[in-house]
Structures are given as C-alpha cells and as structure tokens.
Amino acid sequence: MDKNNLKLALIETIIILNIRIIIVQDLYGKINLLSTLLYLSSTTADYS
C-alpha cells in the first residue's frame, strides 16, 4: 500500500464520518424540536 492509497483511504474515512455526524446531528435536532413542541403544547394546555 503506497502513500497515495493511504491518503485516499483516510480522506474517504473522514468524509464518511462527517456524513454520519451530520445525519446524527440532524436526527437529534428533529428529536429536540419534537420534544420542545410537545413541551410547549403541554404547557399551553395547562393554562387554558
């Protein structure tokens, strides 16, 4: 395995990890949004 192949493999790994991190952050963002909406709707229901 020469240095070019190693460099390519490293770049591919970094790209894959970045994509996974973005997907996970997007998922957490959606879960946070949902829980916030649920919390807000439950608090407004208490007031009415």
Pairwise pLDDT comparison (46 vs 40), residue with the higher score: 40
d(CA 24, CA 30): 10
Specify the higher pLDDT residue, 11 or 44. 11
Sign of CA dihedral 34, 37, 43, 46: negative
**Confidence (pTM):** 0.59
Instruction: Tell me what the mean pLDDT of segment 33-37 comes to.
Output: 95
Q: Residue 43: is its pLDDT beyond 90? A: no
pLDDT value at 17 more than 90: yes
In this predicted model, which residue has the larger pLDDT, 48 or 6?
6
Longest dimension (CA), the chain: 69
Structure tokens at 14: 């970094």
Residue 45 has pLDDT above 90, yes or no: no
